Every structure is written in structure tokens, then in C-alpha cells.
Amino acid sequence: MAQLNSPIIPIISTTIKLGPVPPAMGTIFTETFDGDTSSYTPAENLEYETDYQWTVEQTNEYGTTENGPFTFTTAAAVSINDNNALPDEFKLYQNYPNPFNPSTYINYDVASAVNVKLEVHNMLGQKVAVLVNKLQNPGHYSVLFNADEIPSGIYIYTIRLGNYFSSKKMILLK
């Protein structure tokens, strides 16, 4: 069986043409790159809620090939979700749900790398659970507390993050 070996012919240049639809509505931006490109970000600011089209021309030693036009529509951002931003302060949040049966979430923020200790105590001050006891990097954290093995009642959960200390009350109803 004969095997064909077809060499990959290098791209000499890539030209991207980008403009509004129809083209008579505005300027067509053209950029040419030496060689091939795997990604492209327009140098110009695009208008929101506008239809655009783009074509790609690539040239090698045998000539030029054009692909397109391809179309897309820009959209205005309606909100910015900044939940991934690192916290700038330590914070302990109220558990949710509260009252709970049999489990609840406890959320907290860590502002810098620090040893975190999160514990649950009963109303007599006896330790019921250690939920976290380790070094943690800055970020938002959530711990699920399952109280299957303890009786109904009021409990206090405390957090120690370096010099920061906070406590909150939670109610277990079975």
C-alpha cells in the first residue's frame, strides 16, 4: 500500500479583514501578520450590538486562499461577576440554612495565607467538631457541617485566622 507524504507548506502571511455588516456601514479594519496566527484580537474597539463580518486570507508559496466571510454580533455586558476576586479582609458569614437539619454550610473569607481553625462548640463550651485546621491561601471558602451525630440545640461556631477571631450562633432542629 502506497503512503502519501504531503509536506506542510508554511504560511507566508495571514490577513484578517474585519468590518460591520453591511460593509458600507463603516470602516473595514485590515491587519496582516507574518506567518500563521492561531488567535486574533482586533486592534480597534468594536461597537456594541453591531453585526460584524470577517474574512481570513492566507498566502503560501502556491498562492492565496480566502475563508469567510464569517459573521458575529457584539453584545453589551449586562453585569460583571467579580466573585472570583480575592477578599481584602477576613470574614466569617452566618451559616445557611439556619436553623438546619442535619447539615448547613459555613462560609468564610481568607485575605492572606494563614492557618485557619474552624470549630463548633455546644452551649457548655465543649468542642463538638473541628471542621478546618490547616494553612489556607487567600480566597472564599465553604464548609459543609453535618450534624447527624449530635442532638438538637444551639451551637457556636468559631473561626481563628491568624489574629482574627469571630464566632456565630446556629440552631440545629431535628
Cα-based angle 51, 54, 55 (whole degrees, multiple of 5): 155
DSSP E strands in the chain: the ranges are 13-20, 29-34, 51-60, 63-73, 91-92, 103-110, 114-121, 127-136, 139-146, 153-161, 164-172
Provide the pLDDT for residue 167.
96
Per-residue pLDDT reduced to its tens digit, 107-132: 999 999 999 999 999 999 999 999 99
Domain range list for the chain: 13-73, 91-172
Question: Is-above-0.75 flag for pTM?
Answer: no
Question: Can you name the CATH fold of 91-172?
Answer: Immunoglobulin-like (2.60.40)
Q: Across-strand partners of 158?
A: 119, 167
For the CA atoms of the chain, what is the radius of gyration?
Answer: 30
What pLDDT band is residue 73 in, cutting at 50, 70 and 90? Answer: confident
